[in-house]
Amino acid sequence: MSTDPFSQDELRRYARHFSLADVGMEGQQTLREGRVLLVGAGGLGSPAALYLAAAGVGTLGIVDDDRVELSNLQRQIVHGTPDVGRPKVESAGARLAAVNPEVELHLHQTRLTSANAMEILGDYDLVVDGSDNFPTRYLVNDACVLLGMPWVYGAVLRWEGQVALFATPEGPCYRCLFREPPPPDTVPGCAEAGVMGVLPGIIGSLQALEAVKWLLGVGRSAAGRLLRFDGLQLTLREIHPRREADCPVCGDAPTIRELVDYEWFCTTGETRPAEAAAAEASASVREDSDGVDPEGLMTRLEGTDPPLLVDVREGWEWGAGNLSGHGAIHIPLGDMETRIDELPADRPILFYCQSGVRSARAMAVARRAGRARVSHLEGGFEGWERWRDESAKAEE
Protein backbone atom coordinates (compact mmCIF):
# COMPACT_ATOMS: atom_id res chain seq x y z
CA MET A 1 0.00 0.00 0.00
CA SER A 2 1.13 3.55 -0.60
CA THR A 3 3.53 5.23 1.84
CA ASP A 4 3.21 8.55 0.03
CA PRO A 5 2.26 11.61 2.10
CA PHE A 6 -1.45 12.02 2.62
CA SER A 7 -3.18 14.05 -0.05
CA GLN A 8 -5.27 17.10 0.76
CA ASP A 9 -8.42 15.02 0.30
CA GLU A 10 -7.10 12.36 2.68
CA LEU A 11 -6.13 14.99 5.25
CA ARG A 12 -9.70 16.22 5.22
CA ARG A 13 -11.25 12.73 5.04
CA TYR A 14 -9.38 11.39 8.09
CA ALA A 15 -9.27 14.64 10.08
CA ARG A 16 -11.10 13.14 13.06
CA HIS A 17 -8.64 10.25 13.16
CA PHE A 18 -5.67 12.58 13.03
CA SER A 19 -7.10 14.33 16.08
CA LEU A 20 -7.21 11.07 18.06
CA ALA A 21 -4.14 10.56 20.24
CA ASP A 22 -4.30 6.79 19.64
CA VAL A 23 -4.35 7.19 15.87
CA GLY A 24 -2.81 10.37 14.47
CA MET A 25 -0.97 10.38 11.15
CA GLU A 26 1.19 7.39 12.09
CA GLY A 27 -1.82 5.29 13.00
CA GLN A 28 -3.67 6.33 9.86
CA GLN A 29 -0.69 5.22 7.82
CA THR A 30 -0.84 1.88 9.63
CA LEU A 31 -4.48 1.55 8.63
CA ARG A 32 -3.58 2.48 5.06
CA GLU A 33 -1.07 -0.36 5.01
CA GLY A 34 -3.56 -2.85 6.54
CA ARG A 35 -5.06 -5.75 4.60
CA VAL A 36 -8.37 -7.16 5.85
CA LEU A 37 -10.50 -9.92 4.33
CA LEU A 38 -14.25 -9.96 4.90
CA VAL A 39 -15.83 -13.40 4.65
CA GLY A 40 -19.35 -12.65 3.50
CA ALA A 41 -21.00 -9.48 2.25
CA GLY A 42 -24.24 -10.02 4.16
CA GLY A 43 -25.68 -8.76 7.42
CA LEU A 44 -22.40 -8.64 9.35
CA GLY A 45 -20.12 -8.00 6.41
CA SER A 46 -22.13 -4.96 5.29
CA PRO A 47 -21.50 -2.64 8.27
CA ALA A 48 -18.03 -4.05 8.86
CA ALA A 49 -16.99 -3.37 5.27
CA LEU A 50 -18.50 0.12 5.23
CA TYR A 51 -16.74 1.19 8.40
CA LEU A 52 -13.40 -0.38 7.47
CA ALA A 53 -13.50 1.36 4.10
CA ALA A 54 -14.49 4.65 5.70
CA ALA A 55 -11.69 4.24 8.26
CA GLY A 56 -9.13 4.02 5.45
CA VAL A 57 -8.00 0.40 5.73
CA GLY A 58 -5.85 0.28 2.61
CA THR A 59 -6.80 -3.12 1.19
CA LEU A 60 -10.13 -4.81 1.67
CA GLY A 61 -11.02 -8.21 0.28
CA ILE A 62 -14.52 -9.64 0.12
CA VAL A 63 -15.25 -13.31 -0.53
CA ASP A 64 -18.86 -14.27 -1.26
CA ASP A 65 -20.54 -16.36 -3.96
CA ASP A 66 -24.10 -15.21 -3.34
CA ARG A 67 -26.36 -12.73 -5.12
CA VAL A 68 -28.47 -9.98 -3.60
CA GLU A 69 -32.02 -11.01 -2.75
CA LEU A 70 -34.89 -8.74 -1.77
CA SER A 71 -35.06 -10.44 1.64
CA ASN A 72 -31.44 -9.39 2.29
CA LEU A 73 -32.18 -5.67 2.28
CA GLN A 74 -33.77 -5.62 5.74
CA ARG A 75 -30.27 -5.93 7.24
CA GLN A 76 -27.58 -6.04 4.52
CA ILE A 77 -27.14 -2.29 4.23
CA VAL A 78 -24.26 -2.27 1.77
CA HIS A 79 -26.75 -3.31 -0.94
CA GLY A 80 -29.77 -1.49 -2.36
CA THR A 81 -32.95 -2.37 -4.18
CA PRO A 82 -31.40 -1.84 -7.65
CA ASP A 83 -28.77 -4.46 -6.71
CA VAL A 84 -31.25 -7.34 -6.42
CA GLY A 85 -29.94 -10.21 -8.55
CA ARG A 86 -26.43 -8.76 -8.66
CA PRO A 87 -23.45 -10.66 -7.20
CA LYS A 88 -22.93 -9.41 -3.68
CA VAL A 89 -19.23 -8.78 -4.17
CA GLU A 90 -19.98 -6.50 -7.12
CA SER A 91 -22.70 -4.63 -5.29
CA ALA A 92 -20.58 -4.23 -2.16
CA GLY A 93 -17.52 -3.27 -4.18
CA ALA A 94 -19.37 -0.48 -5.96
CA ARG A 95 -20.70 0.90 -2.68
CA LEU A 96 -17.33 0.74 -0.93
CA ALA A 97 -15.62 2.46 -3.84
CA ALA A 98 -18.16 5.26 -3.53
CA VAL A 99 -17.54 5.51 0.22
CA ASN A 100 -13.77 5.68 -0.15
CA PRO A 101 -12.08 5.53 -3.56
CA GLU A 102 -8.67 5.40 -1.83
CA VAL A 103 -9.26 1.80 -0.71
CA GLU A 104 -7.96 -1.04 -2.88
CA LEU A 105 -10.66 -3.67 -3.28
CA HIS A 106 -10.14 -7.35 -4.04
CA LEU A 107 -13.40 -9.09 -4.90
CA HIS A 108 -13.48 -12.88 -4.65
CA GLN A 109 -16.75 -14.07 -6.18
CA THR A 110 -16.46 -17.61 -4.94
CA ARG A 111 -17.38 -19.80 -2.02
CA LEU A 112 -14.66 -20.17 0.59
CA THR A 113 -13.65 -23.85 0.73
CA SER A 114 -10.89 -26.05 2.02
CA ALA A 115 -9.42 -25.98 -1.48
CA ASN A 116 -9.03 -22.19 -1.75
CA ALA A 117 -9.04 -20.84 1.82
CA MET A 118 -5.29 -20.91 2.43
CA GLU A 119 -4.55 -19.13 -0.83
CA ILE A 120 -7.21 -16.45 -0.35
CA LEU A 121 -6.61 -15.78 3.34
CA GLY A 122 -2.84 -15.82 2.90
CA ASP A 123 -2.90 -12.42 1.19
CA TYR A 124 -4.30 -10.62 4.25
CA ASP A 125 -3.34 -9.61 7.78
CA LEU A 126 -6.68 -10.17 9.46
CA VAL A 127 -10.03 -11.82 8.73
CA VAL A 128 -13.46 -10.49 9.69
CA ASP A 129 -15.90 -13.38 9.48
CA GLY A 130 -19.49 -12.54 8.62
CA SER A 131 -20.56 -16.05 7.63
CA ASP A 132 -23.80 -17.57 8.89
CA ASN A 133 -22.96 -21.27 9.07
CA PHE A 134 -20.80 -23.56 11.16
CA PRO A 135 -18.73 -25.17 8.38
CA THR A 136 -17.40 -21.79 7.26
CA ARG A 137 -16.64 -20.68 10.82
CA TYR A 138 -14.61 -23.80 11.53
CA LEU A 139 -12.90 -23.43 8.16
CA VAL A 140 -11.98 -19.79 8.85
CA ASN A 141 -10.75 -20.68 12.33
CA ASP A 142 -8.54 -23.55 11.25
CA ALA A 143 -7.12 -21.67 8.26
CA CYS A 144 -6.32 -18.65 10.42
CA VAL A 145 -4.64 -20.77 13.10
CA LEU A 146 -2.55 -22.57 10.47
CA LEU A 147 -1.59 -19.22 8.93
CA GLY A 148 -0.87 -17.58 12.27
CA MET A 149 -3.49 -14.92 11.61
CA PRO A 150 -6.19 -13.64 13.99
CA TRP A 151 -9.82 -13.35 13.00
CA VAL A 152 -12.81 -11.41 14.30
CA TYR A 153 -15.82 -13.62 14.98
CA GLY A 154 -19.40 -12.41 14.86
CA ALA A 155 -22.77 -14.16 14.98
CA VAL A 156 -26.40 -13.02 15.20
CA LEU A 157 -29.77 -14.66 15.72
CA ARG A 158 -33.13 -13.17 16.63
CA TRP A 159 -32.22 -10.30 19.02
CA GLU A 160 -28.82 -11.56 20.19
CA GLY A 161 -25.28 -11.37 18.89
CA GLN A 162 -21.73 -12.37 19.78
CA VAL A 163 -18.28 -10.94 19.09
CA ALA A 164 -14.79 -12.29 19.81
CA LEU A 165 -11.23 -12.12 18.53
CA PHE A 166 -9.78 -15.59 18.00
CA ALA A 167 -6.41 -17.09 17.08
CA THR A 168 -4.26 -14.31 18.52
CA PRO A 169 -0.85 -15.25 19.93
CA GLU A 170 -1.40 -17.09 23.21
CA GLY A 171 -5.17 -16.59 22.87
CA PRO A 172 -7.89 -19.18 22.35
CA CYS A 173 -9.26 -20.16 18.98
CA TYR A 174 -12.86 -20.90 18.09
CA ARG A 175 -12.38 -24.62 18.77
CA CYS A 176 -11.16 -23.91 22.30
CA LEU A 177 -14.63 -22.61 23.08
CA PHE A 178 -16.71 -24.64 20.63
CA ARG A 179 -14.82 -27.91 20.33
CA GLU A 180 -17.56 -29.54 18.28
CA PRO A 181 -20.49 -28.16 16.32
CA PRO A 182 -24.00 -28.61 17.68
CA PRO A 183 -25.92 -31.61 16.35
CA PRO A 184 -27.52 -30.96 12.97
CA ASP A 185 -31.01 -29.43 13.06
CA THR A 186 -30.65 -28.21 16.68
CA VAL A 187 -29.69 -24.60 15.92
CA PRO A 188 -32.09 -22.72 13.65
CA GLY A 189 -30.77 -20.33 11.06
CA CYS A 190 -31.84 -16.73 10.57
CA ALA A 191 -34.24 -17.76 7.81
CA GLU A 192 -36.15 -19.91 10.30
CA ALA A 193 -35.77 -18.02 13.59
CA GLY A 194 -35.44 -14.52 12.15
CA VAL A 195 -33.09 -11.69 13.05
CA MET A 196 -33.79 -8.08 13.94
CA GLY A 197 -32.34 -6.06 11.07
CA VAL A 198 -30.56 -3.56 13.32
CA LEU A 199 -28.68 -6.29 15.21
CA PRO A 200 -26.15 -7.20 12.47
CA GLY A 201 -25.39 -3.47 12.21
CA ILE A 202 -24.41 -3.42 15.88
CA ILE A 203 -22.39 -6.64 15.83
CA GLY A 204 -20.78 -5.93 12.45
CA SER A 205 -19.76 -2.47 13.65
CA LEU A 206 -18.17 -4.03 16.75
CA GLN A 207 -16.28 -6.39 14.46
CA ALA A 208 -15.00 -3.43 12.46
CA LEU A 209 -13.97 -1.70 15.68
CA GLU A 210 -12.04 -4.78 16.82
CA ALA A 211 -10.33 -5.00 13.43
CA VAL A 212 -9.25 -1.35 13.55
CA LYS A 213 -8.00 -1.68 17.14
CA TRP A 214 -6.01 -4.79 16.25
CA LEU A 215 -4.40 -3.11 13.25
CA LEU A 216 -3.50 -0.08 15.37
CA GLY A 217 -2.43 -2.14 18.37
CA VAL A 218 -4.46 -0.03 20.80
CA GLY A 219 -6.98 -0.62 23.56
CA ARG A 220 -8.22 -3.82 25.15
CA SER A 221 -9.25 -6.30 22.49
CA ALA A 222 -11.83 -9.06 22.50
CA ALA A 223 -9.08 -11.71 22.55
CA GLY A 224 -9.87 -14.15 25.35
CA ARG A 225 -13.35 -12.64 25.67
CA LEU A 226 -16.68 -13.53 24.10
CA LEU A 227 -19.09 -10.61 24.24
CA ARG A 228 -22.78 -11.53 24.18
CA PHE A 229 -25.20 -8.73 23.32
CA ASP A 230 -28.93 -8.98 23.99
CA GLY A 231 -30.66 -6.28 21.99
CA LEU A 232 -34.10 -6.97 23.43
CA GLN A 233 -32.95 -6.49 27.03
CA LEU A 234 -30.08 -4.16 26.08
CA THR A 235 -27.50 -6.07 28.08
CA LEU A 236 -23.89 -6.99 27.38
CA ARG A 237 -22.28 -9.97 29.08
CA GLU A 238 -18.95 -11.61 28.53
CA ILE A 239 -17.32 -14.94 29.17
CA HIS A 240 -13.60 -15.60 29.19
CA PRO A 241 -12.55 -18.62 27.13
CA ARG A 242 -8.98 -19.81 27.53
CA ARG A 243 -6.60 -21.44 25.15
CA GLU A 244 -6.98 -25.18 25.70
CA ALA A 245 -3.80 -27.22 25.73
CA ASP A 246 -5.63 -30.15 24.14
CA CYS A 247 -7.27 -28.12 21.37
CA PRO A 248 -6.95 -30.15 18.15
CA VAL A 249 -5.88 -27.06 16.17
CA CYS A 250 -4.05 -24.57 18.43
CA GLY A 251 -3.18 -26.87 21.35
CA ASP A 252 0.22 -28.12 22.45
CA ALA A 253 -0.05 -31.26 20.29
CA PRO A 254 -2.46 -30.39 17.47
CA THR A 255 -4.02 -33.24 15.54
CA ILE A 256 -5.43 -31.05 12.74
CA ARG A 257 -2.51 -29.81 10.68
CA GLU A 258 -4.34 -29.17 7.43
CA LEU A 259 -7.83 -28.17 6.40
CA VAL A 260 -10.46 -30.89 6.55
CA ASP A 261 -13.94 -31.56 5.15
CA TYR A 262 -16.00 -29.09 7.20
CA GLU A 263 -19.41 -30.07 5.88
CA TRP A 264 -18.70 -33.63 7.00
CA PHE A 265 -17.37 -32.46 10.38
CA CYS A 266 -20.44 -30.32 11.10
CA THR A 267 -22.74 -33.18 10.14
CA THR A 268 -21.02 -36.08 11.88
CA GLY A 269 -18.66 -34.47 14.41
CA GLU A 270 -15.82 -36.43 12.82
CA THR A 271 -12.87 -35.17 10.80
CA ARG A 272 -11.78 -36.49 7.45
CA PRO A 273 -9.42 -35.12 4.79
CA ALA A 274 -10.83 -32.45 2.51
CA GLU A 275 -9.90 -34.66 -0.45
CA ALA A 276 -12.68 -37.06 0.54
CA ALA A 277 -15.31 -34.42 -0.16
CA ALA A 278 -13.71 -33.59 -3.49
CA ALA A 279 -13.68 -37.26 -4.44
CA GLU A 280 -17.36 -37.61 -3.61
CA ALA A 281 -18.21 -34.52 -5.62
CA SER A 282 -16.48 -35.94 -8.68
CA ALA A 283 -18.03 -39.38 -8.30
CA SER A 284 -20.99 -40.41 -10.37
CA VAL A 285 -24.26 -38.91 -9.16
CA ARG A 286 -27.01 -41.23 -8.02
CA GLU A 287 -30.34 -41.26 -9.83
CA ASP A 288 -32.06 -39.98 -6.71
CA SER A 289 -29.52 -37.17 -6.28
CA ASP A 290 -30.25 -35.07 -3.19
CA GLY A 291 -29.92 -31.68 -4.84
CA VAL A 292 -31.80 -30.48 -7.91
CA ASP A 293 -31.18 -27.12 -9.55
CA PRO A 294 -34.10 -25.05 -10.93
CA GLU A 295 -33.58 -26.18 -14.51
CA GLY A 296 -33.45 -29.79 -13.38
CA LEU A 297 -36.64 -29.31 -11.41
CA MET A 298 -38.44 -27.95 -14.45
CA THR A 299 -37.29 -30.98 -16.44
CA ARG A 300 -38.65 -33.30 -13.76
CA LEU A 301 -41.96 -31.44 -13.59
CA GLU A 302 -42.38 -31.84 -17.33
CA GLY A 303 -41.43 -35.53 -17.21
CA THR A 304 -43.53 -38.65 -16.83
CA ASP A 305 -42.97 -39.03 -13.08
CA PRO A 306 -43.06 -35.49 -11.64
CA PRO A 307 -42.28 -35.05 -7.94
CA LEU A 308 -44.68 -33.71 -5.35
CA LEU A 309 -43.37 -30.29 -4.32
CA VAL A 310 -43.44 -29.59 -0.59
CA ASP A 311 -42.83 -26.04 0.65
CA VAL A 312 -41.32 -26.23 4.17
CA ARG A 313 -41.17 -22.49 4.86
CA GLU A 314 -43.29 -20.52 7.31
CA GLY A 315 -46.79 -19.38 6.41
CA TRP A 316 -45.83 -15.79 5.70
CA GLU A 317 -43.09 -16.98 3.33
CA TRP A 318 -45.57 -19.17 1.48
CA GLY A 319 -47.91 -16.20 1.22
CA ALA A 320 -45.17 -14.00 -0.27
CA GLY A 321 -44.67 -16.43 -3.16
CA ASN A 322 -44.73 -20.16 -3.78
CA LEU A 323 -44.87 -22.94 -6.36
CA SER A 324 -48.52 -23.85 -5.90
CA GLY A 325 -48.91 -23.35 -9.64
CA HIS A 326 -46.77 -26.46 -10.02
CA GLY A 327 -48.81 -28.40 -7.46
CA ALA A 328 -46.80 -27.53 -4.35
CA ILE A 329 -48.30 -28.16 -0.93
CA HIS A 330 -47.30 -26.39 2.29
CA ILE A 331 -45.96 -28.20 5.36
CA PRO A 332 -43.67 -26.04 7.56
CA LEU A 333 -40.47 -27.73 8.65
CA GLY A 334 -41.54 -27.55 12.31
CA ASP A 335 -44.62 -29.65 11.49
CA MET A 336 -42.87 -32.21 9.32
CA GLU A 337 -42.45 -34.88 12.00
CA THR A 338 -46.15 -34.89 12.88
CA ARG A 339 -47.46 -34.53 9.32
CA ILE A 340 -45.10 -36.89 7.53
CA ASP A 341 -47.96 -39.32 6.84
CA GLU A 342 -49.46 -36.72 4.50
CA LEU A 343 -46.64 -37.44 2.06
CA PRO A 344 -47.14 -40.34 -0.36
CA ALA A 345 -44.79 -43.29 -0.13
CA ASP A 346 -45.08 -44.20 -3.83
CA ARG A 347 -44.21 -40.87 -5.44
CA PRO A 348 -41.00 -38.82 -5.66
CA ILE A 349 -41.01 -35.86 -3.26
CA LEU A 350 -39.03 -32.65 -3.65
CA PHE A 351 -38.76 -30.23 -0.75
CA TYR A 352 -37.97 -26.56 -1.10
CA CYS A 353 -37.49 -23.63 1.25
CA GLN A 354 -36.15 -20.11 0.77
CA SER A 355 -32.47 -20.87 0.21
CA GLY A 356 -32.02 -24.66 0.42
CA VAL A 357 -31.07 -25.18 4.08
CA ARG A 358 -34.40 -26.13 5.65
CA SER A 359 -35.35 -28.29 2.69
CA ALA A 360 -32.27 -30.44 3.28
CA ARG A 361 -33.40 -30.94 6.87
CA ALA A 362 -36.92 -31.86 5.73
CA MET A 363 -35.41 -34.41 3.39
CA ALA A 364 -33.60 -36.04 6.31
CA VAL A 365 -36.86 -36.23 8.28
CA ALA A 366 -38.63 -37.86 5.34
CA ARG A 367 -35.88 -40.43 4.90
CA ARG A 368 -36.04 -41.39 8.55
CA ALA A 369 -39.75 -41.96 8.04
CA GLY A 370 -39.10 -44.35 5.18
CA ARG A 371 -39.53 -42.06 2.16
CA ALA A 372 -36.78 -43.13 -0.22
CA ARG A 373 -37.42 -41.02 -3.32
CA VAL A 374 -36.73 -37.58 -1.87
CA SER A 375 -34.69 -34.60 -3.03
CA HIS A 376 -34.59 -30.85 -2.50
CA LEU A 377 -34.26 -27.68 -4.54
CA GLU A 378 -30.75 -26.25 -4.43
CA GLY A 379 -30.85 -22.52 -3.85
CA GLY A 380 -34.47 -22.75 -2.76
CA PHE A 381 -37.30 -20.51 -3.89
CA GLU A 382 -34.87 -17.60 -4.22
CA GLY A 383 -32.79 -19.59 -6.68
CA TRP A 384 -35.90 -20.63 -8.59
CA GLU A 385 -37.07 -17.02 -8.92
CA ARG A 386 -33.62 -15.89 -10.04
CA TRP A 387 -33.41 -18.67 -12.65
CA ARG A 388 -36.90 -17.84 -13.91
CA ASP A 389 -36.04 -14.14 -14.28
CA GLU A 390 -32.78 -14.92 -16.06
CA SER A 391 -34.55 -17.33 -18.42
CA ALA A 392 -37.18 -14.70 -19.25
CA LYS A 393 -34.50 -12.10 -20.01
CA ALA A 394 -32.66 -14.56 -22.25
CA GLU A 395 -35.82 -15.09 -24.29
CA GLU A 396 -36.38 -11.36 -24.86
Q: What would the pLDDT profile of 244-301 be if each residue is shown by its tens digit?
A: 999 999 999 999 898 887 777 776 666 777 766 555 544 433 333 488 999 999 999 9
Range of the domain at 170: 34-280
- More confidently predicted of 174 and 271: 174
Cα dihedral sign, 252-255-260-265:
negative
Cβ–Cβ under 8 Å, residues 176 and 241:
yes
Q: Lowest-confidence range among 2-11, 141-150, 328-337?
A: 2-11
Residue 183 has pLDDT above 80, yes or no: no
Residue % of the chain over a pLDDT of 90: 65
Residues 251 and 140 in one domain: yes
Q: How far is CA 306 from the centre of its chain?
A: 33
- Judge if 267 and 329 occupy the same domain: no
Rounded to 5 degrees, what angle do the CA atoms 166, 271, 283 make? 125
Residue 58 has pLDDT above 90, yes or no: yes
Query: Model-level pTM?
Result: 0.77
Report the distance separating Cα 70 and Cα 76, nearest Å. Answer: 10
**Residue 57 belongs to domain with CATH number:** 3.40.50.720
Stretch 98-105: mean pLDDT, rounded?
A: 96
35-39, 211-215, 322-326, 359-363 — which is least confidently predicted? 359-363
User: d(Cα 280, Cα 129) in Å, to the nearest integer?
Assistant: 28
Task: Tell me: do 358 and 216 sit in the same domain.
Answer: no
Provide the 10 A C-beta neighbour count for residue 386.
Answer: 16
Give me the mean pLDDT over the 306-329 stretch. 91
**Whole-number mean pLDDT of the chain?**
89
One domain, residues 270 and 306: no
pLDDT reported for residue 281: 46
CATH of the domain at 325: 3.40.250.10
Query: How would you list the strands of the sheet with 126-129, edge to edge?
Result: 104-108, 59-63, 35-39, 126-129, 151-157, 160-166, 226-230, 235-239
**Contact (CB, 8 A) for 165 and 153:** yes
Domain boundary residue, one of 280, 313, 333: 280
Catalytic positions: 190, 353
Report the percent of the chain where pLDDT is more than 70: 91
Residues 103, 252, single domain; the answer is yes
Of 252, 280, 308, at which residue does a domain stop? 280
